[in-house]
Chain A
């Protein structure tokens, strides 16, 4: 965990001013089972123009953290600033906006009425047509929200989020419950917009979304930041590659396993039957030992998916 913090400061893109800053943010709730610490001290800094994925399993504290960024909930301790203001002041200035998780629409309003109502509250009626065109909901204008598909409702919520022309856009699991094609078209729309220079932070538990759309990924679990860095580096910082090979039959496997464990760069060795799985940042050393000294065969080297990295970091067994 130490290394990930260092990597964050070393690899954070050199962008302009800070868009969003969280300092030692904590949030606990009182529930029937006692005190629940949903967010247990999060530090995060997002520069303007960054696209950041907020990746974590359900119950990791993503939504609670996002609620605090938007001023919907007040942190128990710690501070949050959005372009140097409090979240609520940033919301009122139209600098931050969000696509909230499922729900959040009135089913008996039409699409246009929904956009008009929220536009009126933002004092941004002149942007109604622009955002409806940009999110491709013009053709749905007269349709009742209840008659819209999940993807269409999400595009409508995206339109609502664009109304104040925010500099920072927060998306809380924007594609939850969508099928693959709806998800793709949502992100295609998103991307066109992201080009316009907005800072975007999106929560997701779809690993491929983080891989495909975010330059930087913040892994969150149990209310803490587990790792934070460029999405491309996330795999390496989470344990490197896996070397898998068959140990020769007829020789005891225990000494081989012990020898592999003794290698500095090896973090774990697992044996199933004759097949040994060696995980560590330096796959070359392990591979050399396996082939040269241990006489192993059928050697494979793989880079774990983000999924595996995620499992390793959040301590969940796959």
Chain B
């Protein structure tokens, strides 16, 4: 990994206004919207309040969207021949991927940080600083698995449109992953198997300790959430690996 390269990448990403609007501002706006809709009166929830619940969910969505879209650009860059240019330097392919992941994680941290900051300023409350810290760290670290997803989609389809579809798919994952609004009944049963369920559940775990927000929803154990996260990490990792191999063989 090369610090100068990462810095230039960050500058470059920060100029992509369209992408920034979606990954940085959307989660903040959605927090303000849903936060006031469900927790406008400061209703308590678990070890904090409903606004904290919504804030953590939206931060997770934003962070995951950031890693998806940025990691996906690695594929479009390879398509443009930038990968060959890089291959003529001392940096190895693993270094390229690591640098990309670093950029994705930094942007994800910024994204989540902004939602948490706005949350802190607009009435999101938790019983102890420990809940804030744990929730934030889980948001940032867990978002890494969606980098695998973005990279896999990008490599498999090698087009900018595919990248748009990958980002769009995150809305779908977020909705069916119990992230945007609390699901219940059959929807919740299905949600337990979708990629964002484990991640978002873990991000909110310091607050909820597994209790669901939907009507009559059963509590999730830490094991169920971790199992979901691990399973999807494996699936995305295998998918990314397959896509990379396939794109190499095709050259």
User: Residues of A with Cβ closer than 8 Å to B?
Assistant: 30, 70-73, 91-92, 94, 97-98, 100, 102-109, 113, 116-118, 120-123, 125, 157, 160-161, 164
Which residues from 77 to 124 on chain B have a C-beta closer than 8 Å to any C-beta of chain A? Answer: 77, 80-82, 84-91
Chain B contact residue count (CB 8 A cutoff): 24
C-alpha spacing A97/B12, complex, angstroms: 26
Q: Mark B1-26, 1 if CB is under 8 A from A, else 0.
A: 01111001101100110000000000
Which of B3, B8, B86, B88 is packed against the most chain A CB atoms within 10 Å? B88
B82: which A residues are within 8 A, CB to CB?
A: 104-106
Decide: B4 and A116 in contact? CB cutoff 8 A.
Answer: yes
Contacts of A103 in B (CB 8 A): 80-81
CB-based contact B89/A122 at 8 Å: yes
Q: Which of B2, B87, B89, B249 contacts A72 (CB 8 A)?
A: B87
- B residues near A (Cβ < 8 Å) are 2-5, 8-9, 11-12, 15-16, 77, 80-82, 84-91, 249, 251
Chain A residues near B85 (CB-CB < 8 A): 100, 104-105, 118, 157, 160
Question: Pick the contact of B88 from A70, A113, A123 — CB < 8 Å?
Answer: A70
Let me know if B88 and A98 touch, CB within 8 A. Answer: yes
In the bound complex, how far is the Cα of B249 from the Cα of A72, in angstroms?
A: 13
- How many angstroms from the CA of A116 to the CA of B87 in the assembled complex? 16
27 residue pairs of the A-B complex, CB under 8 angstroms, read A73-B251, A92-B90, A100-B84, A100-B88, A102-B81, A104-B80, A105-B81, A105-B82, A105-B85, A106-B82, A108-B16, A109-B8, A116-B4, A116-B8, A117-B8, A118-B89, A120-B3, A120-B4, A120-B5, A121-B2, A121-B89, A121-B90, A121-B91, A122-B89, A122-B90, A123-B90, A157-B85
- On chain B, the residues within 8 Å of A164 by CB distance are 89
* A106 and B84 form a contact (CB under 8 A): no
Residues of the B chain whose Cβ atoms lie less than 8 Å from the Cβ of A125: 4
With A and B bound together, what is the CA distance between A109 and B15 in angstroms? Answer: 10
Hey, which chain B residues are within 8 Å of A120, CB to CB?
2-5, 8
Taking a contact as CB atoms under 8 Å apart, the answer to whether A104 and B84 are in contact is yes
